Amino acid sequence: MKTAVTALLSGLLFGAGLAYSGMADPARVQGFLDLFGAWDPTLAFVMAGAMAPMAIAWLFQKRMTSPIACEAFDLPGTSLLDRKLVGGAVLFGMGWGIGGLCPGPAMADLAIEPVKAAIFVLAMLAGMVLHRFASR
């Protein structure tokens, strides 16, 4: 129960941060990706602003034996760059550039612009299902 409440509160905080910063707006993301047009650096500032608290969090994590709301840390076991990882990153980036959304902002947009976001979320879920069947 504690884990579910922590996850819910974390998700609400993340969604509120996306909405407040304007990162749930696809036009802002596409403006950031438009390097040779009307470039909007806002996303770069949001990313840079996220790096400082994350760096501090990693310092705390290294000293902790277990997380606060779970029994153990679930960290990636490898840093191998393979075709599947690079291919997935390319597909993610293409979808992000075309739609102006990635999973976090898309979920936040379900509350802001539900019809537009629902199209993206359904396509995202269809891709997840397709991947699940293709990887078997």
Question: Residue 18's closest CA among 135, 107, 133?
Answer: 107
Q: Which pLDDT score is estimated for 94?
A: 86
Q: Which pLDDT score is estimated for 59?
A: 92
Q: Which pLDDT score is estimated for 35?
A: 87
User: What span, in angstroms and rounded, lies between the C-alpha atoms of 29 and 108?
Assistant: 14
Q: Which pLDDT score is estimated for 122?
A: 92
Supply 112's token pair: 């802001």
Question: Residue 25's closest CA among 38, 42, 9, 50?
Answer: 42
Q: Which pLDDT score is estimated for 29?
A: 82
Consecutive 10-residue runs of the chain (136 residues): their mean pLDDT? Answer: 84 86 83 87 87 90 85 80 87 84 85 87 90 85
Q: Which pLDDT score is estimated for 126?
A: 92
In this prediction the pTM is 0.68
